Structure 1
């Protein structure tokens, strides 16, 4: 079964909106889709988080959350502050494994950048490697900013993933401005050159505020069928 890992070059780069767009495309093709969020921070027990936003924007997707923590920090830091123990790598891998076995496409959305610890001494790359070892086809999508600084951050993220012999399908710009400047326009040319992987999509800035039907139609142009 296919498992698509969505990571970002940093926090607040548009991972959740890109995840929703990717899910919307898969749903439009008649596939069963699930989204897993191993760790959600900065959210209370009864609040809607990233997975609720994915469901709102994409539609009928099954969603699974590994753990949620109240402070807006890296998961391992938030757990330490809260005095809580995070699920282990084997437990989170088991969750993804079960979900992937029951759905045509499973998306796993990370927290912050790809090397942020989701548990004690393990990160999203470790989880992806473990899921691959369990027999699933694994591929990454890297969500990047549009403007200055994105080249270095995107290249480092791609290199970290590829260092573990994991596949990167490409880079998606998480919030493409309505009036891009010179840096943004040139980054469209430079991102593939610097990262060594294709630029496979651009989600317009403010896409999450669109009516859901417009979002789902737009997703077909913003991101590819992977």
Structure 2
């Protein structure tokens, strides 16, 4: 798995912090890692972007960013409004292949969800995965509503004959509600792929040294961690509700 594409079920699901955790776990396992941000939106040229945040948290990783647009919009829309050239999937794939020639693992972080458009031609991070023949790691939220978008995304991946490596819960709450607890079992079922981790809420606010130490405990062995999905599911499963008497 020289290249792994990381996408989300939407925005604000913990995709960047998950990318940092995957990078940190891989580095701790002795692998050289590069992180490629295809298109950064909503930041000025002098501001820190997602790739910078991954490097701050994960440590010794190579970072690259192909384009930056000032407005917090879909990359294609942001590029058009800024009068700038859009990022195209072919350029992202080419950059990832060059990084893969010099690193054990390249993480390509998308923007928002799987089908957020990069350009007027409708290019998406799904097209990047296809060009690279790379698996996709899907970052999902924990609570109510996540099953629908997770299943829709997984169906789209299958329709494109792309490999869904698994699902990571990007932010697991300190006090999970009933929906979140039930979703631990339901997410892998609707995704048709294993649950490969759960990051605690607020993980990105940890001191970087503490983040790097803890990251492997949030991720399954497939992602260089030691997190156990079965053990997590048993711990978080809600108590069964007895049937109401007739």
The answer to whether TM tops 0.5 is yes
Q: How far does the alpha carbon of each residue in 1:88-126 deviate from its partner, in whole angstroms, 9 at most, with x for none?
A: 332222111101111100000000000001233200010
Equivalent of 1:185 in 181, 187, 200 = 181
Q: How far does the alpha carbon of each residue in 1:123-147 deviate from its partner, in whole angstroms, 9 at most, with x for none?
A: 0010111112xxxxx1111000110
Q: Secondary structure at the match of 2:101?
A: helix
The higher radius of gyration belongs to: 2
Separation in structure 2 between the aligned mates of residue 88 and residue 122 of structure 1, nearest angstrom? 6
Trace 1:151-190 onto structure 2 (pairs within 5 A).
151-190=147-186
Q: What corresponds to 2:123 in structure 1?
A: 122
Stretches of 4+ aligned residues off by more than 6 angstroms? none
Separation in structure 1 between the aligned mates of residue 89 and residue 177 of structure 2, nearest angstrom? 42
Q: CA RMSD in A?
A: 1.1
Is 1:28 the equivalent of 2:28? yes
Give the number of aligned pairs: 221
Q: What corresponds to 1:77 in structure 2?
A: 77
Separation in structure 2 between the aligned mates of residue 88 and residue 222 of structure 1, nearest angstrom? 33
Q: TM-score, with normalisation over the residues of structure 2?
A: 0.87
Q: How far does the alpha carbon of each residue in 1:12-58 deviate from its partner, in whole angstroms, 9 at most, with x for none?
A: 10000000000001000111100001100001111101011100100
Structure 1 residue 165, shift from structure 2 partner: 1.3
Separation in structure 1 between the aligned mates of residue 88 and residue 143 of structure 2, nearest angstrom? 36
Judge conservation of contact 2:172–2:198 (CA < 8 Å) in 1: yes
Q: What corresponds to 1:100 in structure 2?
A: 100
Separation in structure 1 between the aligned mates of residue 166 and residue 195 of structure 2, nearest angstrom? 6
Q: How far does the alpha carbon of each residue in 1:149-169 deviate from its partner, in whole angstroms, 9 at most, with x for none?
A: 000011111111121111111
Separation in structure 2 between the aligned mates of residue 88 and residue 56 of structure 1, nearest angstrom? 27
Judge conservation of contact 2:38–2:66 (CA < 8 Å) in 1: yes
Separation in structure 1 between the aligned mates of residue 126 and residue 63 of structure 2, nearest angstrom? 21
Separation in structure 1 between the aligned mates of residue 20 and residue 164 of structure 2, nearest angstrom? 19
**For structure 1, which segment, 27-36 or 215-224, has the greater mean C-alpha deviation from structure 2 after superposition?**
215-224
Q: How far does the alpha carbon of each residue in 1:50-71 deviate from its partner, in whole angstroms, 9 at most, with x for none?
A: 0111001000100010100000
Structure 1 residue runs without a partner (length 5+): 133-137
Q: TM-score, with normalisation over the residues of structure 1?
A: 0.95
Structure 2 residue runs without a partner (length 5+): 224-246
Q: Secondary structure at the match of 1:203?
A: strand
